[in-house]
Structure 1
Amino acid sequence: MSLNVEALFKNIWQQYLSVTPSADKIHQLLSSGDDLINDHVAFRTFNIAKVNLESLAEHLIELGYKECGQYHFELKKLDAKHFEHSNPELPKVFISELMVEKLSTEAQIIINRIVADIDSNLISSNEFLYSGRTWELSSQEYKTLLKESEYAAWLATWGYQANHFTVSVNHLAQYTALEQVNQRLKDSGFSLNTSGGEIKGNVEVMLEQSSTMADSIEVEFTDTQLKVPSCFYEFAKRHPKPCGNLYTGFVAASADKIFESTNQQ
């Protein structure tokens, strides 16, 4: 069973690297061997039954994951859940979904067309989690979605793949504080997401997070090419709960700002 899970995340990681060239550089920069552990992986989707959060989660539940937390983001029109595996070495998974009905009719038409174009057989396969975009999209459709929801525009452009991976700072051999990681990244020329501060969260909420800004990648639309944000890398430092075990959940106020790592710079 664990081999299946590990193979799945290996494929998700390779697909993520293909559109996030900075990730491999950061991986090399921070790692000193086997100390780079993924805290969590995040996915985005629409709340349309065919591809909703529960639909994506089924792939994980079949591989031993369990739902462990729910979150709501009013302004961004999102709901989310996180899932954990009984093997703590495997990454947690954070899946969010956009409440499509809260967008304009024009945006809903584009999104419903996109979802209708997805092969149902692909959705039922584990390959769906790293299949990318399997539909056509015009630059005008991208811009229409971007006016209302950066999240919708990103998902329409990149499709089904990891939105980000997250380094567990707790496991790094050369760093003990998130501030140290951030400084190393900045010294090496990487741009950090400063929305809500470079570090979101604190010891009191038992989770500190930071992230790079997404890479900018040339994308082929049906009518032209545009450089748009792809994916980013996140960094998480977890703190112990009163019982002594590390906190394994997420903080909605912090996650809200992390979503902005794919905003246009």
Structure 2
Amino acid sequence: MTPTFTVDTLFARMWQDYIHRLCPSAEQVHQLLEEDKPLINDHIALRTFNIEPLGIETLAKPFLALGYQEGDDYVFESKKLLAKHYEHPDPNQPKVFISELKVEECSIQLQSIVARLVAQLDANKLLTPEFLFAGRLWDISYQEYQQLAQESEYASWLAAHGYGANHFTVSVNQLNAFAEVVDVNARLRQAGFVINESGGEVKGTPEVLLEQSSTMADKVLVQFSDGEQHIPGGFYEFAKRYPTSDGSLYRGFVAASADKIFESTNQ
């Protein structure tokens, strides 16, 4: 029997998948930053291909069923990505950022590999929310993974890992010990983490109402059809939001910053 999900249980299941399969170091980040109350998760991010039945709308369905509403759209021309964010009427619930690769704009070779992967898909697995943390729904060789990575790090990551949160995000606004993103970065560096410096170690400014940073992705062991390999998995992000003209915290995303956050999973 399929379990009934609430917002809390869905994110709890996604968190368990994230820390066990994609980003084991996330628990260490919690130990470094957690205070007298649990860390607030600002948002998660999910990746997909824009091929039926795997587009953004499919990944959004379980969240919409739990009361989430559509937010803004984002375009990443150089990476051939589209994205949309979703938010819950309760501002304390995490936002969801879902992106998709515009496969038809990629090379014939990439299109061919992705078509072969999607052809293996059992569409019935997409009917329940569990597919959001089900991992890979197809077989792929390490050689194919490398071929994809030469053209699109995004495509290779998705092809290798499948479905799951590629990051969770600490809300810096909720921290007492750290007022600024740069202070969080310094604490993480002190503990041995590598910070994503693409576009600067802090992406965004108070003027655009959002500042973000992230660790570089953990290297995790993945089983390919031709053997096991260590490749980039998930990472942890940190976000500070600033008030809009009405005094409420900005709830959207900044495409120029998100563009550089994507590169946290680059090899």
Q: Per the shorter chain, which TM-score range? A: over 0.9
2:224 counterpart residue number: 221
Q: Give, as a single letter, the amino acid of the residue that structure 2 aligns with 1:178.
A: V
Kindly indicate whether the alpha-carbon contact (under 8 Å) linking 1:43 and 1:163 is maintained by their aligned counterparts in 2: yes
Q: Which runs of 5+ in 2 are unaligned?
A: none
Q: Write the deviation string for residues 167-198 of structure 1: whole angstroms up to 9, x where unpaired.
A: 00001122111111111001110000000000
* Deviation for aligned residue 1:3: 6.4
Task: Return the alpha-carbon distance in structure 2 between the equivalents of residues 72 and 121 of structure 1.
Answer: 30
Farther-moved stretch of structure 1 (115-124 vs 135-144): 115-124
Query: Partner residue of 2:72?
Result: 69
- 2:18 is matched with 16
Deviations 1:43-80 (A, max 9, x none): 00000120100111111101100011100000000000
Distance (whole Å) between structure 1 residues aligned to residue 83 and residue 28 of structure 2: 29
Distance across 2 between alignment mates of 1:254 and 1:35: 26
Match of 1:178 in 2: 181
Match of 2:239 in 1: 236
1:215-252 deviation digits (Å, cap 9, x = unpaired): 01121111122210000000000001122111010000
1:27 to 26, 30, 35: 30
- Count of matched residue pairs: 263
Please report how far the alpha carbon of residue 117 of structure 1 lies from its aligned counterpart in structure 2 after TM superposition: 1.4
1:45 aligns with 2:58: no
Displacement of 1:134: 2.3
Letter in 1 for 2:223: E
Equivalent in the alignment of 2:168: 165
Q: So what's the TM-score if we normalise by structure 2?
A: 0.96
Query: CA shift at 1:25, angstroms?
Result: 0.4
Contact kept? 1:35, 1:171, Cα under 8 Å: no
State the AA in 1 paired with 2:200.
Answer: G
For the pair 1:248 / 2:251, whether they are aligned, the reply is yes
Q: List structure 1 runs of 4+ shifted beyond 6 angstroms.
A: none
Measured after TM superposition, the shift of residue 94 of structure 1 is: 0.1
Q: Which residue is 2:106 aligned to? A: 103
Per-residue displacement from partner, 1:189-213 (whole Å, max 9, x unpaired)? 0000000000000000000000000
Distance 2:153 2:36 in 1: 36
Please give the residue correspondences for 1:136-215 in structure 2 after superposition, counting only pairs within 5 Å.
Answer: 136-215=139-218
Q: String of CA shifts for 1:7-31, please: whole Å, max 9, x gaps.
A: 1100000000012111010011100
Are 1:211 and 1:235, in contact at CA under 8 Å, matched by a contact in 2? yes
Q: Does 1:115 align with 2:142?
A: no
Q: TM-score, normalised by structure 1?
A: 0.97
SS in 2 for 1:249: coil
Give the counterpart letter for 2:36 in structure 1. Answer: G
One-letter code of the match for 1:10? A
Which among 88, 91, 94 is matched to residue 94 of structure 2? 91
Counterpart AA for 1:7:
T
User: Identity of paired residues, percent?
Assistant: 56
